[in-house]
Chains A and B, each alone.
Chain A
């Protein structure tokens, strides 16, 4: 399809302004730009068609089942958007004086209180704009903690299991830590003895997601966090998989000192198109002095934004993070309430186990245990027998109106397909998806070629992923 810049025609536009009847003022040269911005000139009707076409070419949770593992593509209740669209929230200016935004500050305070309760933390910041940003922030707080205690130079290593999300070692490395990889045990959990051997006086901390990326609960979690604490390190909880356990068990009670939440995933705000997200970071009291500033505080009878945190790691984002995402998350928590939050988690776990058992025959379950909110299949044998890869199968699912699962992750499973159905899918949807998958595996044996070229019925066929990675075109070339 055409880009919006290619649809642009000089003189086209959406408005007809009356002739200017007031004096004009030319600002000083230093305040004026030298070239006009290259904005597309386009009529309202064409804009509408352009975005409708973009929508037809893409696939989201509103189009169909979206079991993209580790991404928690659940249904986002429309009431959240309705609340975020209220003019009193949507039209706020970030620099308004605090006494005019008491309601918004109260939203941040309430969200902090409720999310602290769900996670077992004491304080929270909403500045980080997404999960990896939250990880970076949390690890920076761990670093500040060790520095304050005079151990900044000696605690140089961050322990990260080999099943971790790739963002974990990246966040540790960006903070200047040496990453030590901890292998997985045969049951898919952390190898506790290997962790014990790696932990020591040079350990700054451990980064862990629980359930892990194989969708398995770390059975030895309290022993794991204790080993790190005994070595003088702190435990970081990657909240990407919180959907499996929210309202059931709390990271704070498992021995974690600092966590991030993907509010856009677990607490249901629209995501997957590049944002905006929220990687809220919660911590125990020992790390509170290092939180990014400002924080919401009570001063007399009013709420204020306090910068009085001398040991703060500073600001990690402009203003207060993506405020309207915090608001949507609060709305979600209040809607579900004390019964609804754990019910969502158990529903997610039940759905994942149902789908895993349905797929156990045509595929191989990488770690055959009761799973949490997601599970990983290995298509290794199918590839050997038919030449049809995990990628081919994933593309084939699109012909059934199903978004592909996560592919080739975690790295410790060959030809991996990772499914996360979420709690908002019905048993009928899951059964239909299992039928589709079965049909594709049968097709792989009969006519592998048909799957190498799948999908066949989508507006966008198979993109040239290699070409896109080798020769990325990242911006529109106006000179052309």
Chain B
């Protein structure tokens, strides 16, 4: 499994990427997409919606189940990746390219893991 070193990770299996503009992109990790299996539907928030650390902001549906996606930041939704609405399988093919949302105005950030720590965490969880 692949966990790029330039990203930060959460224990609820989201990744975070800081952009040059000071916003963050949020997506699902390789481990998450592998556990969920083939994704068939993604429910995303709207631009301008408020995000709260630890609260669900989106849900993803696979053949197995519907799962919540939790926000690692308290911020505001700046953009949503609308391509995913038509093609949720993008998350299965390249989860680090398939960001779900971009957030701006970050007030609070959850305790995040680096790639090494995250990999150790999922080993331990299994």
Contact = CB atoms under 8 A, between A and B. Distances in A.
Interface of A: 166, 384, 407-409, 411, 465-466, 469-470
B64 A466 contact: no
B89 A408 contact: no
A470 B64 contact: no
A25 to B, nearest CB: 52
Q: Secondary structure at chain B's binding surface: helix, strand, loop or mixed?
A: loop
A469 B63 contact: yes
Contacts of B61: 469
Contact of B40 (A166, A407, A408, A470): A470
Contacts of A409: 65
A408 B89 CA distance: 20
10 contacts: A407-B64, A408-B64, A409-B65, A411-B65, A465-B63, A469-B40, A469-B41, A469-B61, A470-B88, A470-B89
A407 B88 CA distance: 22
Contacts of B63: 465-466, 469
A470 B66 CA distance: 14
A409 B40 CA distance: 18
Interface residues of B, number: 11
Interface in B22-54: 38, 40-41
B65 A466 contact: no
Interface of B: 38, 40-41, 61, 63-66, 88-89, 126
A250 B85 CA distance: 47
A465 to B, nearest CB: 5
Contacts of B38: 466
B83 to A, nearest CB: 14
Contacts of A466: 38, 40, 63
A469 to B, nearest CB: 4
A258 to B, nearest CB: 26
Nearest to A416: B64
Contacts of B41: 469
Contacts of A465: 63
Contacts of B89: 470
A285 B65 CA distance: 38
List of 9 A-B pairs having minimum Cβ-Cβ separation, nearest first = A469-B40, A408-B64, A466-B38, A465-B63, A470-B40, A411-B65, A466-B63, A469-B63, A408-B65
B14 to A, nearest CB: 18
Nearest to A390: B64
A409 B64 CA distance: 8
Given A465-B63, A470-B88, 8 more contacts: A408-B64, A409-B65, A466-B38, A466-B40, A466-B63, A469-B40, A469-B61, A470-B89
A466 B89 CA distance: 10
Among A407, A409, A469, chain B packs the most CB atoms within 10 A around the CB of A469
Nearest to A380: B126
A408 B36 CA distance: 11
A469 B126 CA distance: 29
B39 to A, nearest CB: 9
A406 to B, nearest CB: 12
A467 to B, nearest CB: 9
Nearest to B63: A465
Contacts of B66: 166
Nearest to B126: A384
A3 B65 CA distance: 30
Among B63, B65, B126, chain A packs the most CB atoms within 10 A around the CB of B63
Contacts of A411: 65
Contacts of A469: 40-41, 61, 63
Among B38, B64, B65, B88, chain A packs the most CB atoms within 10 A around the CB of B64
B97 to A, nearest CB: 19
A384 B123 CA distance: 12
Nearest to B92: A466
A136 B63 CA distance: 25
A410 to B, nearest CB: 10
A407 B65 CA distance: 10
Contacts of A470: 40, 88-89
Nearest to B40: A469
Contacts of A407: 64
Nearest to B38: A466
Nearest to B86: A470
B41 to A, nearest CB: 7
